[in-house]
Amino acid sequence: MFFGKRNPLEKEEEQLVSTEIYSCSDDGCIGWMRKNFVSADLLCPMCGSSMDSGVRDLPKI
């Protein structure tokens, strides 16, 4: 039995980067997208409302 060794990947910390995003303008909706991935019409993918630009700390991609 070898429980002492841990997978080194588990220790890797997630690197967060301030990322420009668009979030849904509807307070009741949690929809948002990375700025790189927004649709051309800038509408929320979940409810179709308009989206506001903002910044979030997200894992680096």
Of 19, 23, 31, 43, the residue at the interface with Zn ion (CB under 5 A) is 31
Count residues near Zn ion (CB under 5 A): 8
Which amino acid is located at 45 in the chain?
A: P
Round to whole Å and give the CA distance between 40 and 23: 14
Task: Give the HSE-up count for residue 35: Cα atoms under 13 Å, Cβ half-sphere.
Answer: 10
The answer to whether 21 contacts Zn ion (rule: CB under 5 A) is: no
Of 29, 32, 35, 43, the residue at the interface with Zn ion (CB under 5 A) is 29
The answer to whether 23 contacts Zn ion (rule: CB under 5 A) is: no
Residues that bind Zn ion (CB under 5 A): 24, 26, 29, 31, 44, 46-47, 49
